[in-house]
Amino acid sequence: MDSRPRLYLCTAFLCGVLLTLGFKDIYPDLERRFRRRRVPISSIAGAGLATKDQIDLEDRTKKIKEEDTHDVEIREGIEACVGNTPLFRIKSLSEETGCDILGKAEFLNGAGGSPKDRVALNMIKTAEEEGLLTPHSGDTIYEGTVGSTGISLATICRARGYLAHICMPSDQATEKSDLLLKLGAVVDRVPPAPIIDPMHFVNRARNLAADHTADPTRPGRGYFADQFENQANWQAHFEGTGPEIYQQCGGRLDAFVAGAGTGGTIAGVARFLKSKLPNLRVVLADPQGSGLFNRIKNGVMFDTLEKEGTRRRSQVDTIVEGIGINRVTANFEAGRELIDDAIKVNDEEALAMARWLAEKDGIFVGSSSAVNCVAAVRLARLSGPGQRIVTILCDSGNRHLSKFWTHAGDIGGKTDSKLNDILGN
C-alpha cells in the first residue's frame, strides 16, 4: 500500500516528459498551418498588401477637435424660414432664348410656400409694433384674399399667437380653402362680386374685423390686414426680395418681370433694384381680363373685356389666380412709375407654359408663375441674346390642381413641345 503513491508519481512524471517531447515535434507543423490559413485574410484586409507590411487603421471615433467646432445657427420658429429663397437658371427657357432667364423660387418660402409669407409676416410685425395686435390675447386677423396670402397668414398667425379669418371668392381652387381649414382658419367662401359690392371678399373681411372689435362679448380685437393698401406689403419686398435678387445676381441683371395682384412684389422689388441699377427694365406680366396692362401702357385702368365704371362682374376674367386686378391699389401705385413696360398673357399661353416647364425642366408651378415665364420669354426675344432676366416663381402647382391644372391636363410622355407653339409665333 505504501508503494502506490510513488508508483503514481513516477507514472505521471514519465507521461509529462513524453507529452512535452511530442508537442515539441508537432508544434512547427501546427505553426506553419496556422500561418497559411491567415494569409488570405490579411491579404483581403490589407487590400493587397504583403503580410509583413503594417496596416494603419484610422480611428474615426475620435472627438472633433475643439478648435474645429462652432455655434450652429438654430432658427426660432417657422417665421425664421421665410425669405432667402434660391435663384436658379431655368434651363429650357434660357437655352431657347439665348438669355439667362432666372427664377426666384418663392414657392420655397417656409411658412405658406409663396411670396405672401414675406408680406404676412411683415404686416403682422408692423401691427404688433404699432400696438394693433397683441399675441395670445384673442386678437383675430381678418383678410380678403384669393388664397395665398390667407395661407401665409393662417400659418404665421398660429406661430405668433393669433387666429385667422379668411374671406375668399368661391371660384378659387378648393385646395386653398381646404388647406386654410386644416391650418385652423375660419374660411368664408363668398360669391365673386365687384369691389363696389359690400359682399366683395375684401369688403367682407374689413366689415367682420370692425364688428369683432366693436363686440364687447368677444375676446381680443379684430385686425383687418388690408394687403392691397397696407404699405408693409411692398416694404417686405423692398427689404427682402429685392436685396436678395441683387446679391444673388452679383449686381448684374438687365430686367425684372413680375405679375401684380396687390402690386406689392413688383413695386417693392422695383424700388430697390432701380436704386442700385437705374438702367434696369421692370416689366409687368398681366393676365387676360386685368386692367393693369393698360394702366402701364395708357395710364388708364381699362381692359377690352369691360368698360371702366360699369363693372358688375367678378374680379378678373381669367383662369389665372393670384395676379391681375381691375382697380388701383396703394401698393401697385408705390412702384408704378418705375415699371417700364407691360406684356399681356392669355390663358392658353399660361396653360402651355405650365406644361412646358413640367415637361422640359420638371418645374411644377401655378398659374401666376406660368404667366411670369411667358412674359420673361417674350421680353428675352424682344431684347435679344445675352440678357439676364429675373422673374418670380410664386407657388407650386399643388395649389392649382382642381382648376388651372385640370385645364392644363397631364403631360404624359410628351417630350417634343416647341416654344413657338406656346407663344403662337
Reduced to 3 states (helix: H, G, I; strand: E, B; else coil), residue 82 is coil
Measure Cα distances from 205 to 64, 197, 222, 224, 282 in Å. Answer: 56, 13, 10, 7, 32
417/356 Cα distance (integer angstroms): 7
Task: Name the active-site residue from 62, 63, 104, 116.
Answer: 116
Q: Is 65 a catalytic residue?
A: no
Nearest CA among 124, 130, 126, 161 for reference residue 143: 124
Contacts 24+ apart (CB under 8 A), 1-7: none
Residue type, 60: R
3-state helix, strand, coil in the chain (%, to 5): 45, 15, 40
Nearest CA among 273, 270, 268 for reference residue 247: 273
Sign of CA dihedral 210, 192, 399, 370: negative
Q: Which residues contact 97 (CB under 8 A, 6 or more apart)?
A: 377, 380, 381, 385
112/78 Cα distance (integer angstroms): 10
Q: Quick check: 262 and 299 in contact, CB under 8 A? A: no
Q: What are the grid coordinates assigned to 59, written together?
A: 480611428
345/208 Cα distance (integer angstroms): 35
Reduced to 3 states (helix: H, G, I; strand: E, B; else coil), residue 201 is helix
Beta 222-224 vs 140-144: how paired, if at all?
A: parallel
The catalytic residues are 116
